[in-house]
Amino acid sequence: MEGIDLHIHSTASDGTLSPAEILKLAQKLKLRAIAITDHDTIDGSKEALQTGIPPSVKFLTGVEISASSPPSISYAGSFHILGYSIRLDDPQLNKTLAVLQQARKNRNPQIVKRLNSMGFEFSLKDVAKEIGDGQLGRPHIARYLIKKGFVKSIDEAFKKYLAQGKSAYVDKYRVDCERAIEIIVDAGGIPVLAHPILLNFDKNETNDLFALLKDMGLKGIEVYYPENPPGMTTFYSKLAERYGLLKTGGTDFHGSLKPDIQLGSGRGDFAVPYEIYEKLVRI
């Protein structure tokens, strides 16, 4: 494989491989460039740099910020802003991530409480014991529900209880998207809209959103994504060109928490060309 993967989760958030394991696997798969983009934390990127980057793999620092959609746009699904090549010691970025992390800490007990009231007996501590120092999220709770025999799969856990609108769903604090873009830019980084397909927008809404985000300072769109239905990668690609936005891509690798998705190759037929990386570092 000669490609790249610019969307990877580590044990710092809801991935199951440590940054060191990701670097090793990327080397083994001959990926030429990667970025670790954990939810609302840069600990994964920090750890990768401390571990040492193998000479054959180019590395970009990264983060995936939970953002809220612009007020003028109807409610979006997963609205995530990726940040690449960010300065990891930027005070404003670290302060914002600390707020997001605290919001998750406040939210998790509420999710567990809801599940308890539905007859699922366990504590947040039980879930925490299963993971290391990383940030606990819904996928960890889903995996614990499987372990206890309450559900059979992560998918079932989300569909029945944890997804938005389901009985154990608790909303979480998100950063206003214009602010998220600004924070990434101020930290020397490149803000990119993650996985537009997960917004659940139609084509007109997507067009309007890209235009709006471009005005807010967005620099790129994650055009290449394994979940894109046929034709959508081309659609996003054309829109990105229309608005002068960079095209990026990645698998959204989560290790065994998203078992169908492999590093670099998604479901096996996915690849992001190296030139995407070259264009990203040139701006």
Q: What are the residues binding Fe ion (CB under 5 A)?
A: 14, 80, 194
Q: How far is the CB of 137 from ligand AMP (least distance, A)?
A: 3
Residue whose C-beta lies closest to ligand AMP? 137
Q: How far is the CB of 227 from Zn ion (least distance, A)?
A: 11
Indicate which of ligand AMP, Fe ion, Zn ion, none lies near residue 155 (CB less than 5 to 8 Å, by partner kind): ligand AMP
Using DSSP bridges, classify how beta strands 4-8 and 190-193 pair: parallel, antiparallel or unpaired.
unpaired
| 12 vs 33, beta carbon nearer Fe ion | 12
Tokens, residue 230: 């046929």
User: CA-based Rg of the chain, rounded to a whole angstrom?
Assistant: 18
Residue 5 binding Zn ion, by CB under 5 A:
no
DSSP-derived 3-state class of residue 107? helix
Indicate which of Fe ion, Zn ion, ligand AMP, none lies near residue 174 (CB less than 5 to 8 Å, by partner kind): none
Number of C-beta neighbours around residue 66 at 10 A:
18
Q: Rounded to whole angstroms, how far apart are CA atoms 46 and 51?
A: 9
Using DSSP bridges, classify how beta strands 190-193 and 246-249 pair: parallel, antiparallel or unpaired.
unpaired
Q: Are 88 and 45 in contact (CB under 8 A)?
A: yes
Place of tokens 């939810």: 39
Residue whose C-beta lies closest to Zn ion? 252
Binding mask 6-45 for Zn ion (x = CB under 5 A): ----------------------------------------
Per-residue DSSP letter, 272: B
Going across the sheet that includes 246-249, the strands are 175-176, 62-68, 80-84, 190-193, 220-224, 246-249
Indicate which of Zn ion, ligand AMP, Fe ion, none lies near residue 46 (CB less than 5 to 8 Å, by partner kind): none
List the one residue from 252, 255, 272, 276 that touches Zn ion (CB under 5 A).
252
Indicate which of Zn ion, Fe ion, ligand AMP, none lies near residue 266 (CB less than 5 to 8 Å, by partner kind): none
Instruction: Provide DSSP, 148-178.
Output: TTS-S-HHHHIIIIISTTSTT------EEHH
| 44 vs 139, beta carbon nearer ligand AMP | 139
Indicate which of Fe ion, ligand AMP, Zn ion, none lies near residue 158 (CB less than 5 to 8 Å, by partner kind): ligand AMP
Q: How far is the CB of 109 from ligand AMP (least distance, A)?
A: 13
DSSP-derived 3-state class of residue 264? coil
Q: How far is the CB of 188 from ligand AMP (least distance, A)?
A: 25
For ligand AMP, the binding residues (CB under 6 A) are: 14, 39, 137-139, 154-155, 158, 163, 172, 254
